C-alpha cells in the first residue's frame, strides 16, 4: 500500500514504520494521541474508489492523517461495499494495533454507515459492528465516525 499526506506528499509503503515514527515524535513533544481508522468509497461507472485513512488526534492540539487510495474494478451492491470498507479499515487497524498497544494509544475503527434505517448503508450496520467489535476494536458509526465520513470522504 502506498500512503500519502493530505498535501499529496508520498510516504513510505511501510505503514508500521510510519506509525511508530509518528507516535515517538508526537509523544516526545508531549502530545497524548488517539488513532482513528476509517474507509470511504465512491462509485463510478465501472469501478469503485476506496480511501482509507489513519487519523492521529493530538488531545487539544488538532490532528493529521495518512491516506491510501485504491480502486476496485467492477460494481458491487451497497451492503457488500459497506462491508468491504469495514474490511479495509480492519486490515489497517490490525496491522498497527500492536504498536498502539505497546505505546498505550487508543484506537477506534470508524464505519461510514448510518445508524438511521432510513439510509441504504444501514443494511450493513449490524454486520459491520459485529465485525469490528469481534476483532476487538472500538466501533463508531455515523454521526460519530468522522475518520470515514469526513476525513476519508474528502480524499476518495
Q: What pLDDT digit, counting tens, does each position of 22-72 carry?
A: 999 999 999 999 999 999 999 999 999 999 999 999 999 999 999 999 999
Strand pairing class (47-58; 4-5) = unpaired
Is residue 12 over pLDDT 90? no
CA angle 50, 54, 56 (to 5 degrees): 150
Rounded distance between C-alpha atoms, residue 138 and residue 36, angstroms: 9
Mean pLDDT of 128-149: 96
Average pLDDT score over residue span 73-91? 96
Q: Which among 134, 130, 128 is positioned nearest to 114, based on CA atoms?
A: 128
What values do phi and psi take at 142, rounded to 5? -55, 140
Q: Indicate the burial class of 87 (C-beta count within 10 angstroms; 0-12, 13-18, 19 or more).
A: middle
Computed over its alpha carbons, how large is the radius of gyration of the chain? 15
| Per-residue model confidence (pLDDT) at position 30 | 97
- Give the pLDDT confidence of 101-118 residue by residue, as tens digits: 999 999 999 999 999 999
Amino acid at each position: 500500500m502506498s500512503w500519502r499526506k493530505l498535501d499529496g506528499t508520498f510516504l513510505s509503503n511501510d505503514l508500521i514504520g510510519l506509525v511508530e515514527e509518528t507516535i515517538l515524535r508526537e509523544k516526545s513533544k508531549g502530545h497524548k494521541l488517539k488513532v482513528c481508522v476509517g474507509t470511504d468509497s465512491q462509485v463510478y461507472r465501472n469501478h469503485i474508489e476506496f480511501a482509507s485513512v489513519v487519523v492521529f488526534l493530538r488531545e487539544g492540539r488538532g490532528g493529521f492523517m495518512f491516506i491510501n487510495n485504491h480502486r476496485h474494478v467492477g460494481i458491487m451492491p451497497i451492503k457488500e461495499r459497506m462491508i468491504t470498507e469495514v474490511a479495509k479499515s480492519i486490515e489497517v487497524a490490525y496491522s498497527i494495533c500492536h504498536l498502539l498497544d505497546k505505546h498505550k494509544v487508543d484506537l477506534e475503527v470508524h464505519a461510514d454507515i448510518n445508524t438511521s434505517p432510513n439510509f441504504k448503508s444501514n443494511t450493513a450496520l449490524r454486520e459491520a459492528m459485529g465485525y469490528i467489535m469481534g476483532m476487538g476494536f472500538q466501533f463508531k458509526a455515523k454521526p460519530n465516525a468522522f475518520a470515514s465520513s469526513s476525513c476519508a470522504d474528502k480524499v476518495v
